[in-house]
Every structure is written in C-alpha cells, then in structure tokens.
Structure 1
Amino acid sequence: MRSDIEYSPVAVGEGLKVRDFWLYAWMRKAAVIAAHVIGVSLTIIISVLSRPGTSRFSWHPLCMALAYCLCLTQGILIFSPDLSLRCRKPPKYKVRLHWLCQILVLLVATTGLGFIVASKNLSESPHLATWHSRLGVCTLAASALQAACGVCVLFPKLLRLSVPPPRLRLYHDTCSLLVYLLATVTVMAAMFSDWYQAIIKGLAWWAIFLMPVFPALVVMNQITKSYLLHKKVST
C-alpha cells in the first residue's frame, strides 16, 4: 500500500479540544507500535512452535508467518502517518522499503506453498481439503494481484495506462486491504488445524488466536483513511 499524502494533525483533531487531541494522537501512535510488536511477536511464536528443520511441513508455517505476519505488516505500516520514519530520506525511500517487503512476501509465501505441497505429496494427503488451504491460495493470488497494481502505480507511463494515477492508487489500496484481511483470516484458520491444536491449548490458544486481530484493525484504519484522502484529492 502506497500513500504520498500525509495526514494533517489539524484535520484529524478537528472538533477536538487541544488537550484531548494530544491524548488521541498518542493513543494512535501506541496502537501502531502495538501492531508492529504483535506482528513480530506472532512471527516469533509461530517460528518457535513450528521447529523448522524437523520436517518438510515445519518450514510452511515459518515461511507464511515471515511473509504475512512480518513482511506484509511492516510493509504497510511503513506509511503510517502516526509513526512514520524519522529521517531525511525522500518519500521514495519508504516506497523502496515497501516494495522490498512486498517482494519478500511473494518469494517467502511461494516458498512456503512449495513446502506444504511437497509435504502433502510425501504423505499422500489431499490438497485444498481445508478452509485454511483454500484461503491460503486465495491470499497468495490476491498478493500477486496487489503487486501487479503496485507496478501499475509506479510505472503508469511505461505501461501506457489510461487510468489516472489517483485511481490506480485506490485500486492498489483496495487490493492491500483485501490481501491483509485474507491473510489475517488464513492465519486464524490455521490455528484450528490438528497440528496447531496439538501444540497449544487453553488460554494460550485463545491469546495467540486473537493476536492477528489488532494489527488487522490498525492496518484497516490506515488504508481506509488513505482511501478517503486520495478520494478527496482526486475529486
């Protein structure tokens, strides 16, 4: 998700008292920080539980956690106006970091798909037999579509597109929201698998199960506000 438009504190705090606005601003920054921390923590938890190297399957949850819990989350939150990068780099610097994260998402997720296909072939298990696997394929397909929209946003003249750039950004933002929601649901669906429920039970299961929800809410809020700003500018 790419945003060239910064949020205005005056617009965000319009109608609020000054003292209330500062509390509101700090709460938003705390929410973004928490989303970063939860994304990293969930990746670490899944990586430890999967014990990579013990089997072919063990690499699948590791790759998918790295792709969607870590790279996708960080790649979108790079553009967060509440916790932006404090540096003198031009805006293109964030775009490059975003694209690096998105490339890693596709590469690592495709690798994870390869491991689960090889594991199922080895055990002669059926493919696409669960909602988790079906949602995972949809998530990977939506990720490829999102990347294609991003290419169109970056190189509209080279591709000779007739669609105006603001509308291309809206399409890209919409795909980003779709991908993240699909990824969140897919991760949560994975926790109903026999493998996961054999490892984690009780309150720990519920705690980890609910962890992806908060980053999804933060990302959804960021993307929808970016959509509204782009819509306002384009009109």
Structure 2
Amino acid sequence: MKTQKPGDRVLAVLRGICSMVAHFAAIAFTAYIFYISSPGSSLFSWHPTLMSLAFSCLMVEAILVFSPESSLFIKASRKTKVRIHWILQTCAVVSGILGFSAIVINKIRNNKEHFKSWHGTFGLITVIYVIVQALFGIFLLYPQAAKKWNWKLMQLKVYHATFGLLGFTLACITVVLSLFSNFVVKSAGVDGFIWGLCFFCPTWCCFIVMNQVTNAYLPITRKSAP
C-alpha cells in the first residue's frame, strides 16, 4: 500500500474544504435568489426562482456527487451515484425549462422583446444546450444503444463529461450575467458586499467543477492519445 505524503494529505484536505464551500455556495445563492424573488408573487418571480434552482443548485449537486473529496454520497456505489446524478440532472432540466417558459410567457404578456440582453442570449443557448446534452446522456444509461455507432463506453464518458462541463460553464456565465440585470440591481437593490458574494458563488462552483472534471478525465485522454 502506497504511503501518502504529508503534502498530499494537506492538498487533499484543502481540496475537500474548497469543494464543501461549493456545496454551501450553491445552496446559499439559491436560497438568496428565492428570498429576493418571492416565488409566486408574479409570473416573472418563477424565472429567477426556477433557474437558480436548476443551474445553481441541482446541477451543481448532480456533478459534485462524483467528487472524491466532498460528495454527499461519498460511500455510495458508482451505480448509486450515477442514479442520483441523472435524477438531479433531470430535475435541473425540467426546472430550467419551466423557468425559461416563465420569462418567455411574461415577455409575451407584456409585449416586450425577447433575448435583447447578453443574459437572455446566453440563457437561450444554455437551455438548448443542456437539453441536447441531457438527451445524449441517455446513451450512458443504455450504452448498448451506442454500440450501433461503435462507440466505446469510456469514449462516451469522456465526451459526456467534456461537453457537460461546457454546458455548466455556459450556465454559470448566464447566472453571472443575471447579476447585472434590472431585476437584481434595480428591483431587488442588490449591491456592494452582497452583490460580491452573489458573484462569488457561481464563479466558485464553476471553478470547483472544472477542477473536478479535468482531474478525473484529463489523465484518461492523455493515456488514450496516440
């Protein structure tokens, strides 16, 4: 059995702490958006509520379930983690579609133009991308279906993780852009230190997820390279 060096143990502890901060950031940010949105007070209120639930909480937890340092199900089997992952991701996609529908219907009712801001444009791209990514994820649940195209299971995992990371990054960018919206800055009056914390939360989660995915799959891609 290989003895772990003191420096490696320290790094492992630091990675664990950083990942646990991501859990807290995801939940705290979502809870705060719920608070300032007052879900149910208007049709629009469901947009930030459901979108934050989808992309700032459910999707983060769906990915962190595989974290070797901070998974909330760290002792669960790989099969169980996969099941939890796709359940959370499915809930995230449904929540995202509902939140997206809320803002579209709200704009139609108020005769407002669609996708005129960077937040709206990135939001549209993110929702479409996430839906497509989720559909392709079905191949990992039923890998026998991918054999028709002679795809290997490990190839599918690498592709899913890589494109999933891109989708999550798009989601984080969209969330950050929302912090510059009239709703956050003017209606909710979020500014100063609180605004900075709101900016930190999705940025930190994005950093942690990037680190997790690259550490898990970069060595595999290097081994398979010719």
TM-score (norm 2): 0.91
Q: What percent identity do the matched residue pairs reach?
A: 31
Find out whether 1:109 has 2:96 as its counterpart: yes
Alpha carbons 1:166, 1:234 under 8 Å: kept? no
- Counting only pairs closer than 5 Å after superposition, residues 59-208 of structure 1 correspond to structure 2 as 59-84=46-71, 85-87=73-75, 89-159=76-146, 160-198=148-186, 199=188, 200-208=190-198
Superposed CA deviations along residues 130-164 of structure 1, whole A, max 9, x for unmatched, are 11011011111121222123112222313423121
More helix by percentage:
2
Indicate yes or no: 2:34 matched with 1:47. yes
Q: CA deviation at 1:233?
A: 5.5
Deviation at 1:234, TM superposition (A): 4.2
| Count of aligned positions | 220
User: Which protein has greater RCO, CA pairs closer than 8 Å, 6+ apart?
Assistant: 1
Q: 1:122 deviation in Å? A: 1.2
CA gap 1:86/1:185 in 2 versus in 1, 3 angstroms: closer
Which sections of structure 1, spanning at least 5 residues, go unmatched? 1-8
Q: What is the CA–CA distance in structure 2 between the aligned matches of 1:130 and 1:113, rounded to whole Å?
A: 15
Instruction: Verify the 8 A CA contact 1:145 1:175 in the aligned structure 2.
Output: no
| 2:12 pairs with 1:25 | yes
Point out where structure 2 has 5 or more consecutive residues left out of the alignment. none
Moved over 3 A (4+): 232-235
Q: CA RMSD in A?
A: 1.7
CA distance in 2, matches of 1:224, 1:156: 23
Distance in 1, Cα, partners of 2:51 & 2:198? 16
- Residue 228 (structure 1) aligns with: 218
| 1:213 partner amino acid | T
TM-score (norm 1): 0.88
Mapped contact 2:26–2:205 kept (Cα < 8 A): yes
Cα distance in 1 for partners of 2:143, 2:116 equals 40
